[in-house]
Amino acid sequence: MLSREENDLLTQTGPGTPGGALLRQYWQPVALSEELPPQGAPLPVRILSEDLVLFRDDNGEVGLIGLHCSHRRADLSYGRVENGGLRCLYHGWLFDKRGNCLEQPCEPEGKKFCQKVRHPAYPCIERSGIILTYMGTGEPPLFPAYEPFLAPQSHLLVTKIYHECNYFQANEGNLDPSHVSFLHRQDNVPENLKRTVQGTDGKLPLALYAADLAPEIDAEETDYGVRIFSIRRTEDGRTFFRVTNFILPNMATIPGPMSGDGYNLYWHVPIDDTHHWRYDIVFRRSAPMEERDIRRNQEILDELNPDYKPKRNKANRYLQDRESMKTWSFSGMGRIFNVQDTAIVEGCGPVVDRTQEFLGPSDRAIIMARRQVLRAVKDLQEGRPAPNVMRSAAANHYPHVMVISEVVDAGGDWRKHWQTKLAAMR
């Protein structure tokens, strides 16, 4: 249970808020590259409660500037991309990607004041099909070299999903291994959605989750966030264990469909305090994505509208089917985990009231992640650097961000098995 003040620190991320100041210390996704094609229209975006516009200039370089013109506040997303910048339709003012005012054609010669205008602008980079921005002050940090961002694009599947709730409560779902045994329970899994667990004779994860409804949960603090262990006993006496991660300040990794050969990275980015985008990266380590992987991912994309907003949503009660709950689906919300997770975190309200919670041992990782973020906010307020902000090229190396989903034979020690794998990756 948190105090009201602590909950506000976790969930309020707009300009001038302590939580917003923390998130602005890191690169944050602002759009998918596919949303801003070459010669495409400017794209209005909202991130951390700021209204901005993305555009590609004549050189194909991305700019992110304030949505409203510094002259008379016209909407620049309707503007023209030309002459090295974005031109306002109202009076022709031209802004480049750095926020410089290049032209004021309606002002008389000798009376122009371009040099006095500093339009809001943030630097951008593109990585792995995602456009990211740095909204903090000072020199941007290095972009963190997490394993998926080092892989070729052919090894990745990238999308985003709209959520009608605060970013933090959705990410907490990724740090909660025990819910999988209930929320995602289903029978008769189609072939194209099946995936087996390493160390078993073709067993599906759902069968292993169902075999032990109360897993042992452990967690440990790391330099990047929290490493989470969930341990379940199988019917034949073996141990099914998973290693997942919370990555400061707003990411998580889980096994996903590439279990054993990659993982899913989820990046929860506030639009404002009651809406956010979850950027999804499915990463395969050993080879490019195969047709089977693409088909499986298409099952997720088919649940989204062209604007990346879910077809199943609060307005239609996620198309819950009570008949399917009697036969094969615990939730009645189809087979896609994303839909089920979204229904739960949105159902907690726009911003969950953590003063009303009663947490137990299964919530250990969530408690640890909250404490880390609250500590990071306090450190920043008191002039200390934010954690996991990468400034050293030599240190920009994350082989210890590992994701595992395996079964260890009866009598085996899952901790030793894990430590052996970790040592091999370092």
Q: Confidence band (pLDDT; 50, 70, 90) for 205?
A: low
- Residue-number span of the structural domain to which 85 is assigned: 27-134
Q: Which two tokens stand for residue 224?
A: 């990047």
Query: With contact defined as beta carbons under 8 Å apart, do 170 and 353 qualify?
Result: no
Both 195 and 60 in one domain: the answer is no
Peptide bond into 249 cis (omega under 30): yes
Structurally, the chain folds into a number of domains equal to 2
Residue 311 has pLDDT above 60, yes or no: yes
Closest C-alpha to 273, from 18, 25, 20, 22:
20
Q: How far, in whole angstroms, is CA 136 from its chain's centroid?
A: 19
Q: Residue 26's pLDDT band (boundaries 50, 70, 90)?
A: very high
> For residues 228 and 216, is the Cβ–Cβ distance under 8 A?
no
Q: Is residue 389 part of a domain?
A: yes
CATH number at residue 225: 3.90.380
Regarding whether 223 and 123 lie in a shared domain, the answer is no
Same domain, 262 and 391: yes
Instruction: Provide the pLDDT for residue 181.
Output: 85
The pLDDT, as a whole number, for residue 193 is 46
Q: What would the two tokens of residue 244 be?
A: 């997942």
The CA distance from 126 to 422, in Å, is 30
The answer to whether position 140 is within a domain reads no
Angle at 341 between CA 340 and CA 344, to 5 degrees: 90
Q: What is the pLDDT of residues 146-187, one digit of tens each?
A: 999 999 999 999 999 999 999 999 999 999 999 988 888 887
Q: Rounded to whole angstroms, how far apart are CA atoms 324 and 194?
A: 19
Q: Which of 134, 156, 189 is the last residue of a domain?
A: 134
Q: How confident is the model at residue 262 (pLDDT cuts 50, 70, 90)?
A: very high
**pLDDT of amino acid 28:** 99
Residue 106, Cα to own-chain centre: how many angstroms?
A: 43
Count the helices and strands in the chain (H runs, E runs). 10, 19
Residues 348, 406, single domain; the answer is yes
Let me know whether 237 and 115 are in one domain.
no
User: Which DSSP category does 312 fall into?
Assistant: S
* Domain at 83, CATH number: 2.102.10.10
Q: What's the CA angle centered on 405, arms 404 and 409, to 5 degrees?
A: 110
Residues 129 and 269 in one domain: no
Measured between alpha carbons, how far is 226 from 362 in angstroms, rounded to an integer? 15
Q: In what helix (H) or strand (E) does residue 282 lie, and over which residues does it extend?
A: strand 275-284
Cβ pair 81, 42 in contact under 8 A:
yes
171 and 281 assigned to the same domain: yes
Beta-bridge mates of residue 236: none
Q: How far apart (Å, rounded) are the C-alpha atoms in residues 263 and 259?
A: 6
Round to whole Å and give the CA distance between 304 and 324.
21
Residues 107 and 64 in one domain: yes
Per DSSP bridges, beta strands 43-47 and 50-56 are antiparallel
Q: Is residue 252 part of a domain?
A: yes
Residue 12, in any domain of the structure: no
In the predicted model, what is the mean pLDDT of the chain? 93
Q: Are residues 185 and 318 in the same domain?
A: yes
Beta carbons of 137 and 120 less than 8 angstroms apart:
no
pLDDT of residue 417: 87
